[in-house]
Amino acid sequence: MALGSAPVGQRFENPRELLGDRLKGVYRLLAEHGVVLFGDDYFADCYKSSRLGRPTVPARVLATVMVLQSLEGLSDQEAVDHLECDLRWQAAAGVDAGYVAFHPTVLVGQRNRLRLSDRPKRFLEDTKVVARQAGVMRDRVRVLDSTPIYDAVSTQDTVTQLRSAIRKLLRALEGCELAGRVRAVLVRDDDYVGPGKPACDWDDREAREALVDALVRDALAVLAVVDGEVLVGAVREAAELLALVAGQDVEQGDDGVFRIARNVARDRVISTVDPEARHGHKSRSRRFDGYKAHLSVDPDSELIDEVVVTPANTHDGDSAVIDDLLAGHADDEDKPTVMGDCAYSSPDLVDDLEQDGFEMIAKVPPAANRDGRYSKDDFTVDLDRGTVACPGGQMVVIRFSRDGSGRADFAGHCADCPLRVNCTTSTSGRSISIHRREAILQRAKAVQSTPEWKHAYRSTRPKVERKIAHFVRAGWGARRARTRGVKRVTTDAVTRAAAVNWARLATLGLTVTDSKWATATT
């Protein structure tokens, strides 16, 4: 058996040539076409107002690192290390083996400039431009859904938030004449300098209540001092946060003592470190803290069309979110059909989209009643005649209100009805509520019962679930936020969506010839 020996003096200058056919997927796509995708002037507009000039890092290298970093879910330091040590990254970025990478803070600065530019979503927008030129992305259907993004901070309790909010305002006021006046009204034996929760005997109820009461009174005293003052910048933001925190979780009892309220505020701030994060519910039993990524997916190409990030408590069917997701198609002559699950089945949303020229396909959930009794779906609603018929054959007239909603009362027929036990337990009899846009609900339920609708929904809807799985495959930067605030989280989410799109286009065999993009399927 012969013993191998290491080659002496042998050096490979071109990682692309070294890897050959072993370089695959998005790394190969960026290696072969990165110079076209990310030209030297790719970030030029980000430095129009910069007095420090541009970094010496080529735009192609910087853009490639940002995309691959998002694809693999790496920190800035890890991304730079990969650029120096991973031949696939070096090939994708078009640099030689042995490349000495830039400092990780360059990525931080570039994200900040990108966020402030006229095209903050350029990474994602460019994937759509290439996909449309290649003929793989069409505007036939858009499927909507959302997924949680867990926040990058710890959720704080009420005591911690109260003290942190006071401390934040004091830090913002440092050096101002107002700072001395604010500190003069503080009563608690606390300088509010160090972070953390104040000391307390947490097993003693009276001690806990005394601490909460003292914190709230300090907060209110501070707010009374700054009330009427002209506050700007960080001082104004800190004062607004303190006012919000001081009122969201506490209530004053009849004895004048402030205590933690038993209810949870609807739009509760969960951390003074990240005031934009919120409590969210993906389902009744699944709660999370942070943000929510709303995605619009093209099922034909399985590419992400748009991403919108909101606080976690934003409803999927929020009209403003839907408008942002479909903003790119507002001026289209042939607008795509919009498809969504039950969260998007609101008759108001459906009507608004149809007024804008979109066709909405959303699964309207079946009506429910307790213990398996007759639901509204077991009643026959005839809007043309203005009547509702019950399972027992009784028919009543709908009493409409001015806003178009109505009510059908069967009280006069329920007393002697043999089906009452299967219908209602109310002593006043059964009634049916009519939505002011009931016609849209009835039409949607009729359509979704057809075999054609079921086939279209079942064959198209799962594609967005698979794409969301691709989107959250990398935990850091996709499923878990790396930064704080809606805008910063949005930058990461958009870059992640672009990276997922480039990976999909690489799978489709994207190539360019004479400035014309094509795939193996077109």
Confidence of residue 2 (pLDDT cuts 50, 70, 90): low
What phi-psi label fits residue 455: left (phi over 0), alpha (psi between -120 and 50 degrees) or beta?
alpha
Q: Which two tokens stand for residue 158?
A: 């009420």
CA dist., res. 111 & res. 248, Å (int): 34
**With 80 as the cut, is the pLDDT of residue 292 above it?**
yes
Confidence of residue 399 (pLDDT cuts 50, 70, 90): very high
- Give the β-pairing of 395-397 and 387-389: antiparallel
The pLDDT assigned to 119 comes to: 95
More confident: 7 or 173 = 173
Q: In sequence order, which residues have a C-beta less than 8 Å from that of residue 270 and are 6 or more positions away?
A: 151, 155, 156, 277, 278, 279, 289
For the segment 253-264, the average pLDDT, to the nearest whole number, is 86
**With 80 as the cut, is the pLDDT of residue 431 above it?**
yes
What is the number of other CB atoms lying within 10 angstroms of the CB of residue 279? 19
Distance between start and end Cα atoms, the chain:
52
The pLDDT assigned to 479 comes to: 86
129-138, 254-263, 496-505: least confident range: 254-263
The pLDDT assigned to 462 comes to: 86
Average per-residue pLDDT in the chain?
90
Please name which of 500, 518, 495 lies closest in space to residue 120, comparing C-alpha atoms: 495
The pLDDT assigned to 1 comes to: 45
Q: Over the stretch 307-336, which tens digit does the pLDDT of each residue have?
A: 999 999 999 999 999 999 999 998 888 999
The ranges assigned to domains in the chain are 11-120, 121-153+291-341+461-522, 158-260, 370-444
Q: What would you measure as the largest C-alpha separation in the chain, in angstroms?
A: 100
Decide: 212 and 200 in contact? Cβ < 8 Å.
no
Decide: 494 and 121 in contact? Cβ < 8 Å.
yes
Confidence of residue 474 (pLDDT cuts 50, 70, 90): confident
Question: Tokens 């339920």 — which residue?
Answer: 445
The pLDDT assigned to 161 comes to: 93
For the segment 110-138, the average pLDDT, to the nearest whole number, is 95
Q: Over the stretch 330-385, which tens digit does the pLDDT of each residue have?
A: 888 899 999 999 999 999 999 999 999 999 988 898 888 888 899 999 999 999 99
Please name which of 169, 250, 147 lies closest in space to residue 464, comparing C-alpha atoms: 147
For the segment 154-180, the average pLDDT, to the nearest whole number, is 92
The pLDDT assigned to 241 comes to: 94
The pLDDT assigned to 370 comes to: 87
Question: Which residues face 476 on adjacent strands?
Answer: 480
Q: Over the stretch 28-77, which tens digit does the pLDDT of each residue have?
A: 999 999 999 999 999 998 987 666 666 689 999 999 999 999 999 999 99
The pLDDT assigned to 85 comes to: 93
Confidence of residue 6 (pLDDT cuts 50, 70, 90): very low
**Dihedral pair phi/psi, residue 195, rounded to 5°:** -80, 175
For the segment 455-467, the average pLDDT, to the nearest whole number, is 89
The pLDDT assigned to 54 comes to: 65
**With 60 as the cut, is the pLDDT of residue 11 above it?**
no
Decide: 488 and 15 in contact? Cβ < 8 Å.
no
CA dist., res. 509 & res. 504, Å (int): 9
Global pTM value: 0.89
